[in-house]
Amino acid sequence: MELQTSLAGWPPENKAFPVRDIDIRVQPGALEFLGQYEAAIAANWEAEIAANPHLFNGKLLTIYELAFTDGIVRANAKVVPYAYHLWWRRQASPPPTFHAFAMAVLISSDDAVMAIRMSETTANPGKVYCASGSLELSDIVDGRVDVDANMAREVAEETGIDLTALRPGADYYCAHSRQCVMFYRFYRSELPAEKLVEKVHAHMRRDDEKEIDAVIPVTRGNMNSFDYGHSMPPALDLFFRSQS
């Protein structure tokens, strides 16, 4: 299987489509071109932390080649500093890598999509989306990315909800937007939105990180009222279209 450095031939942007499997393999070594941008990345990082000293230059995975064939997303990824991602996303024509992450879409028993709003301490302040985050080193199992582990970790960190206690959907979905590749899986709770909000509020009171400042049940009636991250519209469109 030949992997590509572009999304040419993929389904249209910003539309979720089903996938049979997600096979992201982590390769050793640094990105070949990383060194040539080192000074620009460092300068941007200094500007970023001057504006938001809460940021941390940890490690994440970025995809550098990928393909979608026979219903399977296959990709190779390498470890990069978070500073690379923050610089990369500010470029009008970014290098040919792809920011990838998985998003668990939590559905309440009364059919609300349970979203969160990111706080001022994060790199996405004010943005509304379901709890999710970059692929990290802890998500690697035997050289491959475990997207379910990534989703469970992010949901627990940001909301305190245990994904293993919810009913997962049978299918995975994918969407892409501006060199971001997003994976989705729906999870159904037996609790109504009101009770889930109470659980997340309790977590927020205990959480020292303070990554989120609101939990928002998104419904068909209020879905046009929020400032979404780019990962959210494909998931909302998929869910509420399925409910029609």
Q: What is the pLDDT of residue 58?
A: 97
Query: Does 68 map to a domain?
Result: yes
pLDDT, tens digit, for every residue of 163-182?
999 999 999 999 999 999 99
Residue 149: pLDDT band with limits 50, 70, 90: very high
Query: Does 8 map to a domain?
Result: no
Percent of residues, the chain, with pLDDT higher than 70: 99
Query: Does 11 map to a domain?
Result: no
Smallest CA-to-CA distance from 83 within 38, 115, 113, 128 is with 38
Domains contained in the chain, number: 1
pLDDT, tens digit, for every residue of 94-139?
999 999 999 999 999 999 999 999 999 999 999 999 999 999 999 9
Query: Does 188 map to a domain?
Result: yes
Report, as an integer, the average pLDDT of 210-232.
97
Q: Please state, in angstroms and rounded to a whole number, the distance separating the CA atoms of residues 13 and 49.
A: 31
Residue with tokens 């996303």: 89
Residues pairing with 180 in the sheet: 99, 177
Q: Please state, in angstroms and rounded to a whole number, the distance separating the CA atoms of residues 120 and 171.
A: 34
**pLDDT of 48 strictly over 80:** yes
Q: Please state, in angstroms and rounded to a whole number, the distance separating the CA atoms of residues 227 and 229.
A: 7
Q: Alpha helices, DSSP H only, in 74-139?
A: 82-88
Query: Does 36 map to a domain?
Result: yes
Burial (CB count <10 Å: 0-12, 13-18, 19+), residue 235 = buried
Q: What is the pTM of this model?
A: 0.95
Phi, then psi, of 169 in degrees rounded to 5: -70, 155
Residue 49: pLDDT band with limits 50, 70, 90: very high
Query: Does 1 map to a domain?
Result: no
**pLDDT of 244 strictly over 80:** no
Query: Does 6 map to a domain?
Result: no
Phi, then psi, of 126 in degrees rounded to 5: 85, -10
Percent of residues, the chain, with pLDDT higher than 90: 97
What residue type is assigned to position 77 of the chain?
A
Supply the range of the domain harboring residue 222. 17-242
Query: Does 65 map to a domain?
Result: yes
Domain at 170, CATH number:
3.90.79.10
